[in-house]
Amino acid sequence: MAVPAHSRLLTLHTRTEPDAIVVECRGRLVCEATDQLRQTVKPLISQTKCLVLDLTDLAHMDSSGLGALVGLYVSAKTAGCQLQLINLNQRIRQLLGMTHLLSAFEACGKYMIKM
């Protein structure tokens, strides 16, 4: 029996676009998955000026996941790399809004936003 997407831990798929590196995030960005996100994304910061996290298939994020995103944002900003979050679902948008982080990520700009 297949495990529903909303209960799986994080899977990441990286692709290089002409003007950015895009990391597609699927599953759940929770405490158990934050090291995986950091280990995958942090080395990419030095390889590009624009790093995009596509959250289309991210079903859930807890406070640890939020902390990992903030840490990556700070690392990227320090390195002169723009970190963008795209395709946020309503729950993740609300979480970022409640913590006053939505404006920080939205200030980064938009890239390939699916309507």
Could you give the strand order of the β-sheet that contains 82-86, starting from the edge strand earlier in sequence?
Answer: 11-17, 20-29, 50-61, 82-86
User: What does the pLDDT look like over 1-14, one tens digit per residue?
Assistant: 444 444 568 999 99
Asked if the model's pLDDT at residue 54 lies above 80, the reply is yes
Neighbours of 53 (CB within 10 A): 24
Superfamily of domain 21-57+65-106: STAS domain (3.30.750.24)
User: What does the pLDDT look like over 30-52, one tens digit per residue?
Assistant: 999 999 999 999 999 999 999 99
